[in-house]
Amino acid sequence: VFQPGTDPAAAPLLLLHGTGGNERHLLPLARALSPGAAVLSPRGDVSEHGANRFFARLAEGLFDPAEVTRRTHALSDFIAAASKHYSLDLSRLTAVGFSNGANIAATILQLRPTVLDGAILLRSMVVLDQPAPPASLNGKRVLLLNGTADPIVPVEHPPHLATLLRAGGAEVTQQMVPASHGPIAADLTAAKSWFAA
């Protein structure tokens, strides 16, 4: 889905849904976050028992680095091509990802940092345990929003992901919200505050 922006000053948003979501899943969040922003929202093209994802997993929390890397580059190429087609400014593009979508946004920052200007990652975990290249993320802002009672994301993952992104120079804000794996109103409040700063 592509929705043109109504406010030229608003940074464009890239929406990346979670497992079982689709290209419309995060549209209400995007509109609440930045009503006038242009929005690019692809659908994950990997099916896990009929549920859309951006990359396959071997089991809950277990990933094949080669698969993740291949899918990250393919999505990055799509984003770059779509940005040209729709005249989106990649230097201002902020990803808003949930779960599997947040994870691939993080791997884009690690492997293809020029594709994004920043990211809001809801319920992300470490998928590629490698630091971003030095200085590759200088000037880029990342917000990590994780739940205090999340049964899917191990408690040590958010601070470790923050460390991997900071290695590339990213300005990372990490915040825990009183939630399980699903998003809650506090996520929107935190995201709006961070996005407006």
Nearest to 95 by CA among 84, 71, 111, 79: 79
Q: What is the pLDDT of residue 69?
A: 98
Catalogue the active-site residues.
99, 150, 181
pLDDT band at 24 (very low <50, low <70, confident <90, very high): very high
* Rounded average pLDDT over 80-93: 97
DSSP state of 180: S
What average pLDDT is seen over the chain? 97
Per-residue pLDDT of 96-153, as tens digits, reads 999 999 999 999 999 999 999 999 999 999 999 999 999 999 999 999 999 999 999 9
Least confident of 59-63, 84-88, 102-106: 59-63
Q: Write down all domains in the chain, each with its CATH number in brackets.
A: 2-196 (3.40.50.1820)
Q: What is the mean pLDDT of residues 48-59?
A: 96
Confidence of residue 60 (pLDDT cuts 50, 70, 90): confident
